């Protein structure tokens, strides 16, 4: 359904080109939920925004391929892309307070999203918004439809945001860290809501997060990102039981026990790569505890390819050459 | 909302009272003596004292001030004993120079200033906000740089320069526009909308050159900031058209500082555009105020100062109220 | 930028002239060097006598008042001759002091043997605009009003100071005025304090404009003064426009002095000076004239005036006004030091501050050759205005020369400050430091008359009611007080000399022919001026450009602008 291949996105800055994505790959099937996992700056959000075509008519340089149901999205004009946005691909943003327009009512913003793709009257669109609010579990939607975003609580706002993203029943929903700004209890409700609605509409979901716990709960498949690349993708089970890439292993190791507190630490030594000046070899090499195992300084000199074995793919010389120690199962 | 309005109006009255008191005091202790100003080289001390009586300046300061205030509440008597005259409410006194009723003077001058203001404000808002928006949309490109450059040039051009150049070129040399006449004070008169427009056009342009520049800057900066807001991304992600995104979402959200500036400028303009009115021979409040101030004409200066203060305060209130219409978050507080 | 604007103005003017088919020519003569007298009067299109048309008068501000009883202003006097008449009239001829001729009265007055009583008789057939007759009582009432100085702050006082009973408080408080008798409707008799040879000139002032008591609206009279002249007020929108139309009750047979050519005068009262000069120079309105001082011309217009087509439309002439630098004789009491200061001053540099020769002539005396009975005036000042430094320094040898002096100037005009800068440089040569002290313009003269009088101050004098009389210049400027015991209140140098001041005091009441009296005043002036209480500088000359349809345009010696009485318009 969706295929992202060798996608690169560069932003010009005063200091030079920032390579936000460096050959990103991602596959998605109908009805599937994929978790897009990685640290801040790994390119998760850039990937989702590139799929939405939000870099069109900006100074960002894009290359590679994004195919959605046979359509090359990168080749589309802004106007053609508009017919995909909201209608076929919906998006939920991280902070619903800043992502919703402060000066318009929640209802009118939902109705607007509907009306732009469906020729209906204002009144009918408002009814759609009310129904949608009811569907996402907002009590007394007839009254709440005329409220402004600031009059909603955080969780309610995210529900409204979801209502806005799903009002046209898109085939693909991109949820960009939808729970980050919310309390833990509300987070769970929102996650439940997304999976419920997904079940109802049978849409595919890309779930962008850095919370592996959320991934475990919601997704079938996981794509791990690092330095603007997909370093590993596999089913949730595989990732958790047999992570191939050293970075994924580090993530797993750093993941607190599910019973424990979620403080989202990534205690892998070192810091993410500087996107202004990427190494020519493996992007993870200077943080990798196994890089020394690979002979001839390959990790430092040669960029590894994404090696696909069945449903599992990884981008690592050590893995490719089977030099890595066996993985241990993490979690309880 | 109603309570808010009443509070603001109350504060406005107190502020006006303070302004009137300060103006009155400044005049009282200023360097110029209006009584001595009323006669020239042959002014004997005796005549100065008689002029003082004629102008009502012989009475103690507070008596004068209270008499002035009484004219704001009801009719009052003016003039020397034996030649008193009723000054109908609202009485702002009579000009020391021409003995005209100040209320009439202001009523006469106001339409000119309003004509000047309305056209100039429309012109500079359309041009300034339009170009600022355009520059923001073309941020970093040639058009943006040209507009920003033109704006910083425009803001450095003083009204006397732009005014005189415009007059010389379009009235003097090319003759495309007529000399300004004081016979046209509104678009509803004999001259009609067209006559009104041609009469004030150059003055509007002179003002717009100066003010547009500021609006270009504030609009551009503000819009660039707004365009980077999350909700603008949301609007795009919904599949909205470019126009809807820019105007319905962007401009609506970024308009607050522009409305604030517009309100304050409007208030200040209605108090009289001194230089513009002088250069373009527009006998509005600014024109009248300069005459009055340079000739020590206390009642006229007082009245125009207070009116200018009134407009500034009024438009501050209007701006505050308009916030509530623009931004629903303000309504709750 | 300012430079460019100026040049563009010149360019604009040139283009405009090129396009104008100017029907000028004839009598006009530009004041240019080498062509005889550069200060000869210029009358535009003299000898025109057709009636009709509208004259548009451009002004940068409204008349301060139109009330003849409350006016000290030349502009009001100029427009006043159109709607009010006085017992006698000061009739203008370009370049000359006005001539005093009978107006409402049959002659210029009959004086009694002792010189203390003047009698005037009104002509027959005099009517107001409403057709009612003008009476002697109305003339008396007009004079009475000018005594109500607590109502009319600008009331003219030259006549009043000559009349007896000067404690009179005006008709509203003081009742009947004993100094004027009106035995019948035609006769009016004035009683004077002491003889006053120039009395016919005093009654030419607006005091004697008749005001019907029933129509006296006091301070509001300015809005519609009742007309006794050839025009009446058609409409008056204060600060915007005044329109005068013909008064059909005015009988030209009673009034040989007023040609009253145009049908209408339309005054635009809020046109900026730059617009006025542009309009006049470019002939945008061929029916336009202005009453603004210096013809509303800016320094930048000088080039345009040299254009032949413009100079054909430029009226020019002397005014009665002569500027002086007054030396405070109380603080600089040594006449030799005053003379040294006078000689050290570069008056030609001061002339430049006035705009150059076009705007006035350097003079060594306040007395002009047009004055009746003028005797020879001697001055050591250089006629071309150059300083005589060596002579000045020689005078100061062995003297206790003041180290610091103060020059006070009216703060509204840049020119007066610049004059101070010139003086500063000149006095430095004598080792004197000059402080420049601004004085609020509105209070300038009262400051000079009071404790604030600096050591040096500029002043101007325009000749008074009769600028052909030496007395009317000498007495106010240098004469003693009313009782003769000290200096007079408008005597800015505070000149008082036992002998000379006493002579002036006695001359005030002297009788004799105008020639005799003029000669005596001239002689005293010459002696006073030998002590240098003041330094004459510039005799003002005004150029005023008029529209191409304007005829008979002359600059009034008294009015300082185009004389509205004679002007006409070609249709």
Gap from B229 CA to chain A (nearest CA, Å): 7
Compute the radius of gyration of chain C from its Cα atoms: 24
Does residue A214 sit in the same domain as residue A264?
no
Does residue A86 sit in the same domain as residue A54?
yes
What tokens appear for C83 in the block? 């709607």
Lowest-confidence region among C130-139, C296-305, C462-471 = C296-305
Burial A30-58 (b: 16+ CB within 10 A, else e): eebbbbbbbbebbbbbbbbbbbbbbbbee
Higher local confidence (pLDDT), B200 or C302: B200
Interface test with B, best of A82, A103, A104, A129 (most B CBs within 10 A): A103
Does residue A213 sit in the same domain as residue A253?
no
What tokens appear for C30 in the block? 């530009």
What does the pLDDT read at residue A161?
Answer: 92
- Terminus-to-terminus CA distance in chain B, angstroms? 10
Q: Residue B297: closest CA among chain C residues belongs to which residue?
A: C442
CATH fold label, B102-331: MetI-like fold (1.10.3720)
What pLDDT digit, counting tens, does each position of C376-417 carry? 999 999 999 999 999 999 999 999 999 999 999 998 888 999
Enter the ipTM: 0.86
CATH of the domain at A125: 3.40.50.300
What pLDDT digit, counting tens, does each position of C104-113 carry? 999 999 999 9
Phi, psi of C105 (to 5 degrees): -85, 160
What pLDDT digit, counting tens, does each position of C45-84 carry? 999 999 999 999 999 989 989 999 998 889 999 999 999 9
User: CA–CA separation, C554 vs C562, rounded Å?
Assistant: 5
A116 → closest Cβ in B140, B238, B253: B238
Whether residue B237 and residue A91 make contact (CB cut-off 8 A), yes or no, is yes
- Looking from the CA of B181 toward its CB, the CA atoms found within 13 Å total 15
Q: Is the pLDDT of residue A89 over 90?
A: yes
Lowest-confidence region among C147-151, C366-370, C539-543 = C147-151
Assigned domain for A328 exists: no
Cβ contact A167:A128 at 8 Å: yes
Does residue A206 sit in the same domain as residue A266?
no
User: CA–CA separation, C113 vs C328, rounded Å?
Assistant: 40
A322 exposure class (CB count in 10 Å sphere: 0-12, 13-18, 19+):
exposed
User: CA–CA separation, C87 vs C102, rounded Å?
Assistant: 7
Q: Is the pLDDT of residue C13 over 50?
A: no
What mean pLDDT comes out for the span B93-108? 89
Q: Residue C151: closest CA among chain B residues belongs to which residue?
A: B54
User: CA–CA separation, A244 vs A311, rounded Å?
Assistant: 13
User: CA–CA separation, C422 vs C52, rounded Å?
Assistant: 50
Cβ contact C422:C538 at 8 Å: no
What does the pLDDT read at residue A267?
Answer: 58
Tokens 């800068």 sit on residue: C421
Gap from C213 CA to chain B (nearest CA, Å): 14
Interface of B with A in 212-231 (CB under 8 A): 229-231
Lowest-confidence region among A257-266, B14-23, B69-78, C104-113 = A257-266
What mean pLDDT comes out for the span C217-234? 95
**Contacts with B315 (C-beta within 8 Å, 6 or more apart), sequence order:** B263, B264, B266, B267, B270
User: CA–CA separation, C223 vs C232, rounded Å?
Assistant: 12
Q: Is the pLDDT of residue C441 over 60?
A: yes
Gap from C154 CA to chain B (nearest CA, Å): 6
Last residue of a domain, one of A195, A224, A253: A224
H helix and E strand count, chain B:
16, 2
Higher local confidence (pLDDT), A249 or C103: C103
Contact partners for chain A, using 3 or more CB pairs closer than 8 A, are B
Predicted confidence band at B41 (pLDDT cuts at 50, 70, 90)?
Answer: low
C151 → closest Cβ in B83, B183, B294: B83
Chain A residues lying within 8 Å of B328, measured CB to CB: 102-103, 148, 150
**Contacts with A127 (C-beta within 8 Å, 6 or more apart), sequence order:** none
Gap from C331 CA to chain B (nearest CA, Å): 21
Gap from B170 CA to chain C (nearest CA, Å): 10
What pLDDT digit, counting tens, does each position of C175-190 carry? 999 999 999 999 999 9
Question: What residues make up the domain containing A108?
Answer: 2-224
Assigned domain for A47 exists: yes
What tokens appear for C281 in the block? 């120079």
What does the pLDDT read at residue B141?
Answer: 87
A-B CB pairs within 8 A amount to 74
Assigned domain for A234 exists: no
Q: Is the pLDDT of residue C3 over 70?
A: no
Domains of chain B, residue spans: 2-87, 102-331
Last residue of a domain, one of A224, A259, A282: A224
Characterise C560 by phi-psi region: left (phi > 0), alpha (psi -120 to 50), beta (else): left
Number of domains forming the structure of chain A = 2
Look up the pTM and report it.
0.82
Cβ contact C147:C153 at 8 Å: no
HEC string for B268-326: HHHCCCHHHHHHCCCCCHHHHHHHHHHCCCHHHHHHHHHHHHHHHHHHHHHHHHHHHHH
Interface test with A, best of B144, B234, B324 (most A CBs within 10 A): B234
What mean pLDDT comes out for the span A183-205? 87
Most confident of A193-202, B62-71, B311-320, C337-346: C337-346
Assigned domain for A46 exists: yes
User: CA–CA separation, A255 vs A261, rounded Å?
Assistant: 10
Tokens 């409700």 sit on residue: A189
Q: Is the pLDDT of residue C14 over 90?
A: no
A116 → closest Cβ in B230, B239, B249: B239
Predicted confidence band at C7 (pLDDT cuts at 50, 70, 90)?
Answer: very low
Whether residue B85 and residue C172 make contact (CB cut-off 8 A), yes or no, is no
Assigned domain for A32 exists: yes
What mean pLDDT comes out for the span C167-175? 91
Q: Residue B324: closest CA among chain A residues belongs to which residue?
A: A103
What mean pLDDT comes out for the span A49-66? 89
Q: Taken in order C444, C448, C454, C460, is the CA torsion positive or negative?
A: positive
Chains A and C touch (3+ CB pairs under 8 A): no
Q: Is the pLDDT of residue C10 over 70?
A: no
Q: Residue B229: closest CA among chain A residues belongs to which residue?
A: A98
Whether residue C5 and residue B80 make contact (CB cut-off 8 A), yes or no, is no
What tokens appear for A36 in the block? 């897009």
Secondary structure element (H or E) that encloses residue C268, with its range? strand C264-268
What mean pLDDT comes out for the span B151-174? 86
Q: Is the pLDDT of residue C265 over 80?
A: yes
Interface of C with B in 70-89 (CB under 8 A): 72
Does residue A12 sit in the same domain as residue A38?
yes
Tokens 């004629």 sit on residue: B54
Lowest-confidence region among B6-10, B61-65, B110-114, B208-212 = B6-10
Q: Residue C175: closest CA among chain B residues belongs to which residue?
A: B82
Whether residue B182 and residue C157 make contact (CB cut-off 8 A), yes or no, is no
Secondary structure element (H or E) that encloses residue C436, with its range? strand C433-439
User: CA–CA separation, A180 vs A187, rounded Å?
Assistant: 8
Cβ contact B290:B189 at 8 Å: no
Most confident of A223-227, B33-37, C564-568: C564-568
Predicted confidence band at C11 (pLDDT cuts at 50, 70, 90)?
Answer: very low
Predicted confidence band at C9 (pLDDT cuts at 50, 70, 90)?
Answer: very low
Assigned domain for A285 exists: yes
Does residue A141 sit in the same domain as residue A182?
yes
Q: Is the pLDDT of residue A256 over 70?
A: no
Cβ contact C121:C193 at 8 Å: no
Interface of B with A in 312-331 (CB under 8 A): 326-329
C445 → closest Cβ in B34, B40, B98: B40
In which order are the strands placed within the sheet that holds A172-176? A89-92, A172-176, A204-209, A33-37, A221-226, A229-235, A312-314, A307-309
Q: Is the pLDDT of residue A259 over 80?
A: no
User: CA–CA separation, B182 vs B160, rounded Å?
Assistant: 20
Whether residue A117 and residue B230 make contact (CB cut-off 8 A), yes or no, is no
Does residue A125 sit in the same domain as residue A186?
yes
Tokens 């009155």 sit on residue: B24
- Terminus-to-terminus CA distance in chain C, angstroms? 41
Separation in Å, CA C525 to CA A195, C375, C384, C502: 114, 10, 22, 13
Higher local confidence (pLDDT), C32 or C202: C202
Of residues A258, A229, A257, A321, the one with CA closest to residue A23: A229
Predicted confidence band at B332 (pLDDT cuts at 50, 70, 90)?
Answer: low
Q: Residue ranges of the alpha helices (H) in C377-484?
A: 389-396, 414-428, 444-449, 471-478
Whether residue A101 and residue B327 make contact (CB cut-off 8 A), yes or no, is no
């Amino acid at each position: 359904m969706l295929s992202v291949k060798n996608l690169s996105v560069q932003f010009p800055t005063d200091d030079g080109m920032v390579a936000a994505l460096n050959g990103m790959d991602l596959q998605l099937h109908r009805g599937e939920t994929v978790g897009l996992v990685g640290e801040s700056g790994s390119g998760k959000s850039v990937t989702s925004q590139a799929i939405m075509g939000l870099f069109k008519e900006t100074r960002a340089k894009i290359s590679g391929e994004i195919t959605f149901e046979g359509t090359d999205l990168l080749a589309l004009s802004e106007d053609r892309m508009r017919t995909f946005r909201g209608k076929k691909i919906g998006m939920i943003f991280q902070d619903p307070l800043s992502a919703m327009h402060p000066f318009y009512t929640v209802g009118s913003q939902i109705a607007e999203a509907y009306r732009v793709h469906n020729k209906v009257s204002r009144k009918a669109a408002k009814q759609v918004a009310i129904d949608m609010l009811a569907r996402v579990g907002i009590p007394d939607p007839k009254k709440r439809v005329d409220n402004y975003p600031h009059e909603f609580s955080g969780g309610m706002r995210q529900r409204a945001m979801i209502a806005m993203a799903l009002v046209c029943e898109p085939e693909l929903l991109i949820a960009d860290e939808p729970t980050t700004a919310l309390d833990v209890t509300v987070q769970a409700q929102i996650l439940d809501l997304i999976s419920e609605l997904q079940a109802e509409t049978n849409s595919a979901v890309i779930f962008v997060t850095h919370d592996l716990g959320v991934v475990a709960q919601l997704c079938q498949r996981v794509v791990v990102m690092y330095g603007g690349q997909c370093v590993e993708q596999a089913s949730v089970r595989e990732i958790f039981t047999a992570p191939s890439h050293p970075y994924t292993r580090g993530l797993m190791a750093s993941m607190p026990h599910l019973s424990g507190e979620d403080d989202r630490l990534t205690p892998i030594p070192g810091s993410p790569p500087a996107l202004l000046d990427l190494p020519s070899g493996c992007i993870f090499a200077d943080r990798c505890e196994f890089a020394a195992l690979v002979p001839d300084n390959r990790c430092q000199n040669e960029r590894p390819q994404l090696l696909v074995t069945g449903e599992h793919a990884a981008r690592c010389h050590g893995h490719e050459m089977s030099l890595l120690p066996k993985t241990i199962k993490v979690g309880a | 909302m109603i309570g808010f309005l009443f509070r603001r109006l109350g504060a406005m009255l107190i502020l006006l009272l303070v302004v009137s008191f300060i103006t009155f005091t400044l005049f009282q202790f200023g360097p110029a003596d209006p009584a001595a100003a009323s006669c020239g080289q042959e002014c004997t001390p005796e005549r100065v004292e008689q002029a003082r009586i004629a102008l009502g300046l012989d009475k103690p300061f507070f008596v004068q001030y209270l008499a002035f205030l009484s004219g704001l509440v009801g009719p009052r008597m003016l003039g020397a004993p034996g030649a008193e005259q009723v000054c109908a409410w609202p009485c702002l006194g009579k000009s020391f120079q021409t003995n005209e009723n100040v209320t009439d003077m202001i009523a006469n001058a106001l339409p000119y200033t309003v004509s000047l203001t309305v056209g100039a404000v429309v012109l500079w808002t359309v041009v300034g906000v339009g170009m600022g928006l355009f520059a923001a949309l073309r941020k970093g490109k040639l058009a943006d740089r040209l507009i920003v450059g033109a704006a910083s040039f425009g803001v450095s051009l003083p009204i006397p320069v732009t005014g005189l150049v415009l007059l010389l070129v379009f009235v003097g040399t090319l003759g495309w526009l007529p000399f300004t006449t004081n016979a046209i004070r509104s678009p509803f008169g004999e001259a009609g909308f067209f006559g009104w427009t041609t009469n004030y056009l150059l003055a509007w342009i002179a003002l717009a050159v100066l003010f547009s520049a500021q609006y270009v800057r504030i609009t551009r900066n503000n819009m660039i900031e707004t365009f980077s807001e999350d909700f603008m991304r949301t609007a795009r992600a919904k599949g909205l058209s470019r126009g809807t995104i820019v105007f319905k979402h962007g401009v609506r959200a970024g308009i607050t500082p522009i409305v604030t500036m517009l309100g304050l400028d409007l208030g200040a303009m209605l108090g009289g555009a001194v230089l513009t009115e002088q250069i373009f021979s527009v006998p509005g409040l600014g024109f009248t105020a300069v005459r009055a101030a340079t000739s020590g004409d206390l009642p006229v200066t007082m009245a125009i100062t207070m009116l200018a203060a009134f407009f500034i305060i009024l438009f501050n209130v209007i701006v505050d109220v308009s916030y509530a219409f623009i931004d629903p978050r303000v309504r709750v507080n | 930028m300012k430079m460019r604007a100026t040049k563009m103005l010149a360019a604009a003017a040139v283009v405009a002239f090129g396009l104008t088919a100017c029907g000028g020519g004839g009598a006009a003569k530009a004041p240019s060097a080498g062509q005889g007298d550069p200060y000869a009067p210029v009358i535009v299109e003299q000898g025109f006598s057709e009636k009709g048309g509208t004259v548009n008068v451009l002004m940068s501000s409204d008349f301060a008042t139109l009330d003849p009883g409350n006016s000290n202003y030349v502009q009001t006097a100029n427009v006043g001759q159109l709607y009010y008449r006085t017992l006698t009239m000061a009739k203008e001829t370009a370049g000359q002091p006005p001539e005093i001729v009978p107006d409402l009265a049959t002659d210029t007055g009959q004086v009694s043997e002792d010189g203390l009583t003047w009698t005037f008789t009104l002509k027959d057939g005099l009517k107001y605009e409403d057709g009612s007759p003008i009476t002697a009582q109305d003339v008396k009432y007009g004079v009475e009003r000018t005594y109500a100085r607590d109502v009319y702050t600008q009331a003219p006082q030259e006549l009043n100071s000559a009349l007896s009973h000067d404690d009179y408080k005006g008709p509203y408080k003081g009742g009947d005025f004993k100094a004027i008798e009106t035995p019948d409707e035609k006769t009016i008799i004035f009683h004077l304090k002491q003889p006053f040879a120039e009395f016919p000139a005093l009654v030419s002032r607006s005091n004697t404009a008749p005001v019907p008591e029933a129509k006296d609206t006091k301070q509001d009279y300015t809005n519609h003064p009742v007309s006794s002249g050839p025009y009446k007020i058609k409409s008056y929108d204060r600060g915007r426009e005044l329109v005068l139309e013909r008064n059909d009750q005015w009988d030209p047979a009673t009034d040989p002095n007023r040609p009253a050519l145009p049908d209408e005068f339309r005054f635009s009262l809020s046109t900026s000076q730059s617009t006025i000069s542009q309009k006049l120079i470019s002939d945008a309105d061929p029916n336009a004239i202005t009453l603004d001082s210096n013809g509303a011309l800016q320094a930048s217009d000088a080039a345009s005036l040299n254009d032949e087509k413009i100079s054909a439309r430029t009226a020019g002439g002397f005014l009665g006004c002569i500027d002086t630098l007054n030396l405070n004789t109380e603080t600089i009491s040594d006449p030799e030091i005053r003379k040294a200061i006078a000689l050290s001053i570069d008056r030609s540099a001061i002339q430049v501050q006035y705009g150059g020769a076009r705007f006035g002539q350097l003079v060594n005396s306040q007395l002009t050759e047009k004055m009746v009975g003028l005797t020879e005036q001697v001055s050591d000042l250089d006629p071309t205005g150059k300083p005589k430094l060596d002579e000045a320094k020689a005078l100061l040898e062995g003297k206790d020369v003041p180290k610091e002096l103060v020059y006070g100037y009216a703060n509204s005009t840049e020119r007066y400050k610049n004059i101070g800068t010139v003086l500063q440089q000149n006095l430095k040569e004598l080792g004197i430091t000059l402080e420049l002290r601004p004085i609020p313009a509105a209070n300038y003269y009262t400051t000079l008359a009071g404790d604030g009088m600096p050591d040096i101050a500029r002043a101007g004098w325009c000749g008074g009611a009769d600028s052909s009389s030496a007395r009317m210049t000498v007495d106010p400027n240098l004469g003693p007080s009313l009782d003769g015991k000290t200096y007079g209140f408008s005597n800015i140098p505070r000149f008082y000399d036992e002998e000379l001041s006493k002579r002036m005091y006695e001359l005030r009441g002297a009788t004799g022919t105008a020639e005799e009296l003029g000669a005596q005043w001239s002689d005293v002036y010459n002696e006073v001026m030998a002590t240098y209480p003041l330094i004459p500088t510039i005799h003002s000359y005004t150029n005023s450009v008029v529209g191409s349809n304007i005829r008979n345009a002359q600059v009034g010696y008294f009015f300082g602008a185009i004389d509205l009485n004679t002007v006409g318009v070609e249709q």
